[in-house]
Amino acid sequence: MARISGYHHLTMSTDSAQEDFDFYTKALGLHSVKRTVLFDGVIPVYHLYYGSPNGDASTIITTFPFRKPAVYGRRGTNQSRAILQSIPVGAADFWVDRLNKRGIEAAKITRFGATRVVFAHPCGIPHELVESESDPREPITNEVQGIGKDHGIKGIYGSVVAVMDRTAMDDFLTIALPLEKEADNHEGLVYRVPDESGVIQRVEVIVDRDSAQGTWTLAGGTIHHLALNTGNEENQLKLRAHIEGLGFTDISEQKDRNYFKSCYVRSPGGALFELAWTTPEGWAKDEPPGAIGKTLVFPPWFKDREAELREGLEQAEFA
């Protein structure tokens, strides 16, 4: 059986590139891992990556800031709803205080027995920092921003998906991927993502039959996809064949993302999942190790469009 080992990354379409960069690197203390451009279509849009200093899989959040083309979507049901990141136990109060002082409204809640800090990206996408007892990853520290090891984000905890039909989504998550169902109660459903390193990561599903259908296209203000890590190409292609063989034929061929390779599948609950693995060169393919995320880089196949793309991008200060 093909294997998954944790998340690879989570990807959103946001609004302003400057707000986006400041939110993740200054408010949350993540590090710039890569600055490149959207590989699909023809619109010049940044693709920004944030995470641990070395860009470790399962720490990566990526965004497409859509302010300049002014393409915006609708958050709703049958769509990924929230981005979840892991923090050390006892760190919630630090984050509530830090975010509120920075003008980002934040509050502490409990769901599925876990303490969380709830707040939103400047474009409105819900985020949560979840205190996790079972996360051996070292916290991402950022001395410049005043975030030490007692409070730093450890990486991806998971995501929330809103659905109308919980049964169809349950079948997809437990049979197609497959994930292990951990909870099914009045708050929703929880599925554990297998991880060889022992890190607890999850997909949480809530039922929402009242909201309108959420946007599935690349459009500002929405989560675009949730990427799971297959570790290598063999596992990726085996899992792709397994999913397609079950009849989930809305699955893409492998796509070259320069630093990793991906296949995408639309779940019956609306959320778009990606199956990804990092290539041997990884982030150092076009920037030296230890200095990733410092320059704007383009894939080789955009060499003839580089001047055009630079001209069309929103102006921002990535510092």
Predicted confidence (pLDDT) per residue in 175-227, tens digit: 999 999 999 999 999 999 999 989 999 999 999 999 999 999 999 999 999 99
For the cut 80, the answer to whether the pLDDT of residue 262 exceeds it is yes
pLDDT of res. 290: 87
Nearest to 163 by CA among 151, 172, 175, 154: 172
> Looking only at Cα atoms, what is the longest distance across the chain?
54
DSSP H helices, the chain, are 17-22, 92-101, 166-171, 233-245, 306-312
Q: What is the chain's mean pLDDT, rounded?
A: 96
pLDDT at residue 177, rounded to an integer: 95
CA distance 101 to 310: 35
Gap between the Cα atoms of 183 and 319, Å rounded: 42
pLDDT, one tens digit per residue, over 158-173 is 999 999 999 999 999 9
What pLDDT score does 85 carry?
98
Q: Is the dihedral of CA 110, 126, 26, 153 positive or negative?
A: positive
* CA dist., res. 168 & res. 137, Å (int): 33
* Region 60-75 average pLDDT: 97
The pLDDT value recorded for residue 152 is: 98
> Who contacts 249 (Cβ-Cβ below 8 Å, separation ≥6)?
none
pLDDT at 1: 66
Q: At 319, is the pLDDT very low, low, confident or very high (cuts 50, 70, 90)?
A: confident
Beta-strand relationship, 60-65 and 7-14: parallel
146 pLDDT above the threshold of 80:
yes
The reported pTM is: 0.97
Average pLDDT over residues 137-155: 97
* Residue 9, CA distances (Å) to 32, 69, 156, 158 in order: 14, 24, 8, 10
CA 60 to chain centre: 7
Has residue 3 got a pLDDT over 90? no
Measured between alpha carbons, how far is 121 from 309 in angstroms, rounded to an integer? 26
